[in-house]
């Protein structure tokens, strides 16, 4: 017998079907509740609401586990490469050797952007934040590649998705180069995905850029860790924007916009700034005290997560990657790293953090790592966005293939004025 929940309203019972997922909590299907009862449900911040069905990523927040298409994310980070993960998220399967060759060649050979995009960059003020530029130029891809914006055409969907995976790193590197006044560096198809991104970011035309393999491998891992995270704010934004049928480039640029916020993708920048502000291990107790004070807006950045009520599995891999990078640089005694290690230790033993189940999240160590690799803080969120483009396109595709897909249109509890009489200006004293 199929399971159901019963809701009782004003003496009347309404049966609500319970739908089982393959793993994780079941859901109560309330989609017919309004039609049957005239009542909405209220859930600000979607803490108890599943907005869709998905088979891409599964998070067990209590255990601190994350799976992409059923594979443990930490194993993938250790043993595979970012482009394999993009393929996995998009198709549902890890690529065979032949598929891998076809896919990586296709991505490699589409990394250049329309030459006229350079002119578009020139419209921005020098010194603009790279995310300010990216939110616009990603949307502008729809102006430069109008041949792949028909969302109802399967082939065009595939082409636009590949274009984004191939070109977003080029745009991110261009946004950075523009912001610091250096010439754009063209992609180099002899390099792999992350090596190429590093040479476009750090290279200059006057000398050959030498890729540090420890760093490019670390970046690849960082991209894998950030590739998807089910229905987070930016992914939900992409889905909601796309539900109107808007073109893929515009939908993904909405994801960039949402990701930019300090409570989401901007947290790595905020976490590094916080660690620098703390500056010394001896100052930690004062900041921990502030984080616990309800009257102080200060929060421990890189701590806490809506879903993880245990150690964020991405943070564990990130912590190790951070150590690898600092070891490569001969900076095992880095002062900021020492502050981070000690802060983590103190917070994990503090009753406030223990009771609220606040653990380090992925952003806690990512800022230190990226900074040590030479990326300025303004590039942290663009890097996150490059990686998350993989998840966004996968969710975007899944949404189109879902027969239940409709335009997203949340309802509200209206608490404003009741209907009232309009008075013309001449009658208002
Ligand atoms: N420092 C101090 N207290 C915290 C922190 C923190 N980092 N995070 C949560 N809390 C407290 C809250 O004040 C709240 O306390 P209360 O119950 O006494 O009111 C309680 O813990 C629950 O926190 P909420 O803010 O309600 O949790 P929510 O799920 O809404 O927010 C979030 C999650 C936004 C990640 C929050 O923990 C936070 O702001 N963390 C710092 C920013 C950060 O690191 N963001 C990155 C998230 S990961 C990512 O986007 C890739």
Nearest to 55 by CA among 67, 41, 40: 67
Nearest to 122 by CA among 133, 111, 132: 133
300 lines ligand 1 (CB under 6 A): yes
303 lines ligand 1 (CB under 6 A): yes
Contact 418, 260 (CB under 8 A): no
pLDDT of residue 268: 85
Nearest CA to ligand 1 atom 34: 263
Burial 266-305 (b: 16+ CB within 10 A, else e): bbbbbbbebbeebeeeeebeebbeebbeeeeeebbbbbbb
Catalytic residues: 305, 363
Average pLDDT, the chain: 95
Q: In this structure, how many other beta carbons lie within 10 angstroms of the beta carbon of residue 241?
A: 20
233 lines ligand 1 (CB under 6 A): no
In degrees rounded to 5, what are phi and psi of residue 406?
-135, 170
Nearest to 396 by CA among 249, 238, 253, 259: 238
356 lines ligand 1 (CB under 6 A): yes
Mean of the pLDDT values across residues 83-93?
Answer: 98
Quote the pTM value.
0.92
pLDDT of residue 18: 97
Q: Is the pLDDT of residue 147 over 90?
A: yes
pLDDT of residue 36: 95
Mean of the pLDDT values across residues 399-411?
Answer: 93
pLDDT of residue 300: 94
Segments in 356-419 forming alpha helices (H): 363-372, 380-401
The model's confidence at residue 177, banded by pLDDT at 50, 70 and 90, is very high
Contact 325, 215 (CB under 8 A): yes
Q: Is the pLDDT of residue 278 over 90?
A: yes
Q: Name the strands in the sheet holding 12-19, side by side, starting at the edge strand that comes first in the sequence.
A: 4-9, 12-19, 27-28
pLDDT of residue 263: 84
Nearest to 212 by CA among 329, 306, 302, 134: 329
Percentage with pLDDT > 70 across the chain: 100
Nearest to 290 by CA among 304, 274, 306: 274
Which H or E run contains 180? helix 154-180
Nearest CA to ligand 1 atom 39: 263
Beta partners for 7?
Answer: 14
Mean of the pLDDT values across residues 81-107?
Answer: 97
Rounded (10°) CA dihedral 225, 198, 99, 226: 10
Q: For residues 229 and 58, give the distance between their C-alpha atoms in angstroms, rounded to a whole number.
A: 8
Tokens of 216: 């490019």
Q: For residues 377 and 382, give the distance between their C-alpha atoms in angstroms, rounded to a whole number.
A: 10
Mean of the pLDDT values across residues 295-324?
Answer: 92
The model's confidence at residue 202, banded by pLDDT at 50, 70 and 90, is very high
pLDDT of residue 333: 82
372: Cβ contacts below 8 Å, ≥ 6 apart? 322, 325, 326, 329, 331, 334
Q: Name the strands in the sheet holding 65-68, side by side, starting at the edge strand that comes first in the sequence.
A: 57-60, 65-68, 71-72
Nearest CA to ligand 1 atom 11: 356
Q: Is the pLDDT of residue 1 over 80?
A: no
**Long-range CB contacts (within 8 A, 24+) of 63-71:** 63/310, 64/308, 64/310, 64/311, 64/312, 64/313, 64/359, 65/313, 66/229, 66/313, 66/314, 68/227, 68/228, 69/93
Q: For residues 71 and 241, give the distance between their C-alpha atoms in angstroms, rounded to a whole number.
A: 29
Q: Transcribe 225-254 into DSSP letters.
A: HHS--SS-HHHHHHHHHHTTT--HHHHHHH
Residue given tokens 């274009």 in the structure block: 163
> Within 13 Å of residue 407, how many CA atoms lie on the same side as its CB?
5
Residue to mutate, 227, 304, 348, 381, ligand 1, most ligand atoms under 8 Å from C-beta: 304
Which H or E run contains 135? helix 130-144
Nearest to 128 by CA among 379, 367, 372, 366: 379
The model's confidence at residue 269, banded by pLDDT at 50, 70 and 90, is confident
288 lines ligand 1 (CB under 6 A): no
Q: What is the pLDDT of residues 13-59, one digit of tens each?
A: 999 999 999 999 999 999 999 999 999 999 999 999 999 999 999 99
């Amino acid at each position: 017998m199929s399971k159901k929940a019963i809701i009782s309203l004003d003496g009347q019972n309404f049966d609500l079907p319970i739908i089982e997922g393959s793993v994780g909590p079941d859901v109560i299907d309330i989609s017919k509740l309004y039609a049957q009862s005239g009542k909405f449900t209220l859930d600000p911040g979607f803490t108890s609401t599943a907005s869709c069905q998905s088979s891409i990523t599964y998070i067990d927040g209590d255990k601190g586990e994350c799976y992409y298409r059923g594979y443990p994310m930490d194993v993938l980070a250790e043993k595979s490469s970012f482009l394999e993960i993009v393929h996995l998220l998009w198709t549902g399967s890890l690529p065979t050797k032949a598929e891998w060759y076809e896919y990586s060649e296709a991505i490699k050979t589409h990394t250049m952007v329309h030459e006229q995009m350079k002119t578009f960059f020139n419209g921005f003020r020098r010194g603009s934040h790279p995310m300010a530029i990216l939110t616009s130029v990603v949307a502008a891809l729809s102006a430069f590649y109008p041949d792949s914006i028909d969302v109802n055409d399967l082939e065009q969907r595939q082409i636009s998705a590949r274009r984004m995976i191939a070109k977003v790193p080029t745009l991110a590197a261009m946004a950075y180069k523009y912001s610091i006044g250096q010439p754009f560096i063209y992609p180099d198809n002899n390099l792999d995905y992350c090596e190429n991104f590093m040479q476009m970011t750090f290279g200059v035309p006057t000398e050959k850029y030498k890729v540090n393999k420890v760093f490019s491998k670390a970046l690849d891992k960082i991209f894998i860790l950030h590739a998807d995270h089910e229905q987070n704010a930016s992914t939900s934004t992409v889905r909601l924007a796309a539900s109107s049928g808007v073109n893929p480039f515009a939908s993904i640029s909405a994801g960039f916009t949402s990701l930019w916020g300090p409570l989401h993708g901007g947290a790595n920048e905020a976490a590094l700034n916080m660690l620098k502000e703390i500056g010394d291990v001896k100052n930690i107790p004062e900041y921990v005290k502030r984080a616990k004070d309800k009257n102080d807006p200060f929060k421990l950045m890189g701590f806490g997560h809506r879903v993880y009520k245990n150690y964020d599995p991405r943070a564990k891999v990130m912590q190790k990657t951070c150590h690898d990078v600092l070891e490569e640089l001969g900076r095992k005694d880095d002062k900021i790293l020492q502050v981070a290690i000690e802060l983590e230790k103190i917070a994990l033993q503090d009753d406030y953090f223990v009771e609220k189940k606040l653990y380090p999240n992925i952003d806690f160590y990512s800022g230190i790592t990226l900074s040590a690799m030479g990326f300025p803080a303004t590039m942290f969120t663009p890097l996150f966005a490059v990686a998350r483009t993989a998840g966004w396109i996968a969710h975007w595709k899944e949404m189109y293939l879902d027969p239940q897909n409709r335009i997203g249109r949340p309802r509200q509890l209206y608490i404003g004025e009741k209907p009232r009489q309009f008075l013309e200006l001449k009658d208002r004293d």
